[in-house]
Amino acid sequence: MAMAFKSVADVTQGAPKLALATYPSRLRLDVKASFDAPAIGPCITSDGRGMNKALLKILGTGLLCFGTVQAIADPQEDFELGLELYDAGNYVEAVKWYGSAAEQGFVPAQLQLGAVYFNGLGVEKDYGQALFWFTKAAERGDAEAQTNLGYLYDKAFGVGQDYKKAVAWYRKAAAQGHASAQFDLGMMYYEGLGVAQDYIEAHKWLNIAAGNGHPDAAASREHTEKRMTDAQIAEAQKRASEWPAGRRP
């Protein structure tokens, strides 16, 4: 069964390694204050912390004031900065920004962080952390993360092997039209792992995956047919034709 990670390049042997520490947080600043007189009092952030003059100069004011400077973390900006750093080959810094966005609940960053931990790119390889972040994204409904999480349970990466949980996560992603999950689910039915062996269901899912462009699904479907009767093949084809992409089976 193949495992596909979203937006993760091939691992290079010389990639720097670093254990994650505290993630940074880039802030978008929404300034709501009165600047009609210099040095009349401190600005404060929305959570009550003081905002110093140096920061106000960054904002282009150079003045102390009464009012509120509302600091708003933007996880999408953090994630996009991580992508820029990743594309530039600065994997260690990229992971820090992925982490910042992931901790703010940004699902694409959680998925990406799980992938870099799985591959050990910019951090030490850590299947437990990969499991943690894939789970976060999977529970929010991300089909790629659900597929990857199913794979971890299937192959016992960072967790005890659990075919039933693997099937459950593959099924969730397959129901969203994820071709790799559909293929993996078909193979679980073929092998009888986590479910009762069922060539009709195996053929059905392999057929659906083939229709969605999975490169190995058609050959696996043909191999499955060698173990089936004509009536079983006809039933499998009927089930596949009745299952539109995106509908939960």
Residues 62 and 79 in one domain: no
Does some domain include residue 158?
A: yes
pLDDT confidence of 243, banded at 50, 70, 90? confident
Rg, Å, the chain Cα set: 24
Q: Which residues pair with 70 in a beta bridge?
A: 30
Of 73-77, 107-111, 122-126, 190-194, which range is least confident? 73-77
Taking 50 as the threshold, does the pLDDT of residue 132 lie above it? yes
Between CA 131 and CA 139 the distance in angstroms is: 12
Residues 103 and 193 in one domain: no
Taking 50 as the threshold, does the pLDDT of residue 59 lie above it? no
Residues 248 and 152 in one domain: yes
DSSP string covering 131-157, please?
A: HHHHHHHHHTT-HHHHHHHHHHHHHTS
Domain count along the chain: 3
Residue at token pair 């929305």: 46
Taking 90 as the threshold, does the pLDDT of residue 83 lie above it? yes
Does some domain include residue 108?
A: yes
What pLDDT does residue 245 have?
Answer: 53
Does some domain include residue 167?
A: yes
Burial of 130 (0-12, 13-18, 19+ CB in 10 A): buried
- Between 73 and 44, the higher pLDDT residue: 73
* Contact of 40 with 19, CB cutoff 8 Å: no
Does some domain include residue 204?
A: yes
What pLDDT does residue 118 have?
Answer: 96
Residues 215 and 171 in one domain: yes
Which residues span the domain enclosing 205? 141-249
Whole-structure pTM value? 0.72
Does some domain include residue 135?
A: no
Between CA 176 and CA 141 the distance in angstroms is: 9
